[in-house]
Amino acid sequence: MTPFRSKNQSARSWGAGLAAAIAVMASLAGCGPAATDLQRDTASHFRELVLGVSQAAAANDHSAALTALENLEADVATAAGSGQVSEERRRSIMTSITAVRADLNAAAEAAGAAKAAEEAAVAAEKAKADAEAAAQATQEKTAPVVPAPVPAPAPAPEEGKGAEGKGKNKNG
């Protein structure tokens, strides 16, 4: 059975993750050869990691997107510690990473809620089908009720045929 996803929900999840990843990419934009706050090789490496985040988000693989984001965060911290990223640029990138993480977590929660709702709907349909099948089986196993025939009324007793009116015992 194909998982139920509304077109709007999939588009929102995909859009939120992709938009968030683009925000990180934007913070890395402008990292050209003359940039002094982020070295070229480091910027290129960060772009690759951001691409992994955006691809996972576009595929609605929130856990992979969050893992890629954690890798980016660790690499930013390492690069900042070794002087490859200025403190100002590190703060800017970390702010973007925080925003992306919030968007991904919200998208993951929405996807989880949609999946739970779908599972509940499937369970309700199954319960309904099971109840209908049980009712049908019970109806088939029950002997039809045939009403007992009503006995015919007993014939009315004939009124006494006596000697009256036939000439016997007549006075007069």
What are the residues whose beta carbons fall under 8 Å from the beta carbon of 79, sequence distance 6 or more?
39, 42, 46, 85, 90
Q: Which of residues 168 and 2 earns the better pLDDT score?
A: 168
Buried b (16+ CB within 10 A) or exposed e, 41-58: ebbebbeebbebbbbbbe
Residue 123 in tokens: 């369970």
Residue 106 in tokens: 């919200």
Average pLDDT score over the chain: 76
**pLDDT at position 77 over 90:** yes
**pLDDT at position 75 over 90:** yes
* Of 80, 86, 79, 68, nearest in space to 24 by CA: 68
Intra-chain end-to-end CA distance of the chain, in Å = 107
Q: Output the pLDDT for position 68.
A: 92
**pLDDT at position 21 over 80:** no
- Is 68:52 a contact under the CB 8 Å cutoff? yes
Q: Which of residues 2 and 116 earns the better pLDDT score?
A: 116
Residues 117-129, mean pLDDT to the nearest whole number = 90
**pLDDT at position 30 over 50:** no
Residues 44-56, mean pLDDT to the nearest whole number = 90
Q: Output the pLDDT for position 73.
A: 92
Q: What percent of the chain has pLDDT over 70?
A: 68
Q: Which domains does the chain have, with CATH numbers?
A: 7-114 (1.20.1440)
Q: Which of residues 67 and 33 earns the better pLDDT score?
A: 67
**pLDDT at position 16 over 70:** no
CA 92 to chain centre: 35
